[in-house]
């Protein structure tokens, strides 16, 4: 998709606002969940660098809805971004939950344990 290329160009040249606009414009051409997740991850990256954390929260939510296969790396990146956005919004309890869930998830993933994300999230909620 051409808008991704424009976004990459603008991002490489430090024009974060234009990069964000280009990445978001790809939304109209996303036909698979992979495209949606790529668009969201790009928008999240630029939003974090611009300090626009409400955008981060929005695109994390969109990416989580588009996940059809739970890719461990994508899930970890999304949880990390959500934790950063919650920290910036002074929602410390939510940020701690995201980071704690991220830590448990990554530890289990690195150990090669197959896990059900919904079950793990439910377990983490019961701890708080």
pLDDT tens digits for range 18-35: 999 999 999 888 888 899
Q: Are residues 51 and 5 in the same domain?
A: yes
Structurally, the chain folds into a number of domains equal to: 2
Q: Are residues 20 and 1 in the same domain?
A: yes
**98, 85 in Cβ contact below 8 A?**
no
| DSSP-assigned states of every residue in 61-78 | HHHHHH-SS--HHHHHHH
In the listed set 69, 93, 108, which residue is the last one of a domain according to the structure?
Answer: 69
Range of the domain at 113: 75-128
Residue 128's pLDDT is what?
Answer: 47
Residue 19's pLDDT is what?
Answer: 95
Q: Are residues 112 and 128 in the same domain?
A: yes
Q: Are residues 7 and 58 in the same domain?
A: yes
Q: Are residues 54 and 10 in the same domain?
A: yes
Burial (CB count <10 Å: 0-12, 13-18, 19+), residue 32: exposed
Q: Are residues 6 and 51 in the same domain?
A: yes
CATH number at residue 22: 1.25.40
Global pTM? 0.76
Residue 1's pLDDT is what?
Answer: 63
Q: Are residues 11 and 42 in the same domain?
A: yes
Average pLDDT over residues 115-121: 49
């Amino acid at each position: 998709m051409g808008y991704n290329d424009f976004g990459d160009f603008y991002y490489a040249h430090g024009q974060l606002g234009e990069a964000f606009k280009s990445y978001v414009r790809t939304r109209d051409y996303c036909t698979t969940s992979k495209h949606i997740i790529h668009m969201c991850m790009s928008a999240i990256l630029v939003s974090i660098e611009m300090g626009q954390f409400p955008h981060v929260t929005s695109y994390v939510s969109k990416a989580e809805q588009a996940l059809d296969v739970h890719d461990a790396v994508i899930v970890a990146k999304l949880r990390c971004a959500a934790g950063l956005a919650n920290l910036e919004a002074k929602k410390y309890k939510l940020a701690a939950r995201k980071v704690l869930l991220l830590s448990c998830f990554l530890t289990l993933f690195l150990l090669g344990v197959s896990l059900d994300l919904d079950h793990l999230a439910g377990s983490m909620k019961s701890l708080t």
